Structure 1
Amino acid sequence: MDGSSASEQTPWWVVCLCAAWCGVCREWQPTFSAQARANPHLRFAWVDVEDEDDAMGEVDIETFPTLMVARGEEVLFLGPIPPSSTQFTRLLATLQAQPRPAPGVDAEANALFHRLRPQVLPQTAV
């Protein structure tokens, strides 16, 4: 399985951008944590956007939960996700199989990832 070893060498991040006041986020957190346990080869982080207001920059999260999925240094997906375990599993599988970012992922998504990563992500694993 040559592709698998290459994938293991490239770090993956699955970041939930949420808010402490959001009831949907609180309800979805166990599903997010379950995905983290089911995918130990991926790095998961739960980030409160209000706590990280400076790092968020011009990115305005309008719908919760919002996911950011990055492979290496490149964001493949940034957008809202329905709080469904099935759709979350499907999204992760699809992203791991695709070679390029999803349509609509812009430079600001990558800039956000780079701002969050040194401050929050290394110590915020689920």
Structure 2
Amino acid sequence: MKFRAAVLHKQKAPLVIEEIQIVDPQPGDVLIRLHASGLCHTDLEVIQGSLPYPLPIVLGHEGAGVVEAVGDGVSLVSPGDHVICSWNPNCGHCFYCEREQPILCEVFTDTYRKGHLMDNTSRLTVNNSKL
């Protein structure tokens, strides 16, 4: 599937609207067609360079939309459901997740500034390069 997104290639530079390719949902994934997304202060810090992050990056980690497709094992949502996105995925099994504090998830905290998902992969490519 292809979509258009604002991509930051260099800090303190303008975002570039590009066509991005995303793979089909993997087990546990939910593909959401976003109807709205925003940039928050964290995104601005990445743009300004005060928050180091691997580039290029698609910014805007808070949004709302409709479930387009789900990967194997997903049972809480179905295609057509209206959803909001959490900026902070969680593993559900670490010290904090088991104590109902998923905002402090150790797995997410260890991976989010590396520029990939919690399974150490990316689902996105731009111009045949991983994003």
- State TM-score, norm by structure 1: 0.27
Q: Which has the higher contact order (CA 8 A, sep 6+)?
A: 1
- State TM-score, norm by structure 2: 0.26
Higher percent of residues as helix = 1
Larger radius of gyration: 2
